[in-house]
Amino acid sequence: MEEKDYKKLIKNNIEKIVVNAGIGKISLSQPNFESKILPQIKGDLSLITGSFPQERKARKSIAGFKLREGQIVGLKITLRGDKMVDFFEKLVKIVLPRVRDFSGISKKKIDDRGTLNFGFRDQYVFPEINSEESIFTFPLGINIVPKEKNRKVAEDIYVKLGFPFAKEKTN
């Protein structure tokens, strides 16, 4: 398939890609989090996605988790259009093959509406991130939302786009 056709196929079948970073544990344990650490994490996410992240704050305080209302607990980036296409291509062709012991993503990660949800333990699988410069690790959650809100159709679309799914075990 030609590169131009592949990009058009992605644009026509995927509505958006949402990248989430959970930074609540880092923010609790580090002094001067907002002045030094948060800008570095935002910079890493900007390198990974090509867009600047939104801050997600806690809606209410939870004493058991030492969480205060208004405290930053995550960062979110929604990708659409050309940035979404570029991120998807990078994810399928570069990032997932770099994951150690990767045998594909389970098809069980697709929900009833066709959204594919998976994550990474840290950001170092992305080639833009230098592990020597980036001091803090944070988990990333990736949600790929198809235009077609049907699980079976979405699964076929992901396969057609070359997404690496795990081989189903047969007895």
Tens-place pLDDT, residues 47-61: 889 899 998 888 888
How many angstroms separate the first and last alpha carbons of the chain?
A: 34
Confidence bin at 30 (pLDDT 50/70/90): low
CA distances 154 to 26, 77, 148, 149, 170, Å, are 35, 22, 6, 7, 23
Tell the residue number behind the tokens 């659409």, with chain if given: 80
Question: How many folded domains does the chain comprise?
Answer: 1
Question: Is 166 inside a domain boundary?
Answer: no
Question: Is 165 inside a domain boundary?
Answer: no
Radius of gyration of the chain (CA): 17
**CATH assignment at residue 114:** 3.30.1440.10
Rounded Cα distance between 115 and 109, Å, is 8
Question: Is 102 inside a domain boundary?
Answer: yes
Question: Is 167 inside a domain boundary?
Answer: no
Q: Which residues share a beta bridge with 57?
A: 72
Question: Is 29 inside a domain boundary?
Answer: yes
For residue 87, the model assigns a pLDDT of 92
> In this structure, what is the dihedral angle of CA atoms 30, 44, 73, 143, given to the nearest 10 degrees?
-150
Question: Is 154 inside a domain boundary?
Answer: yes
Question: Is 104 inside a domain boundary?
Answer: yes
Q: For residue 8, what are the domain limits?
A: 3-160
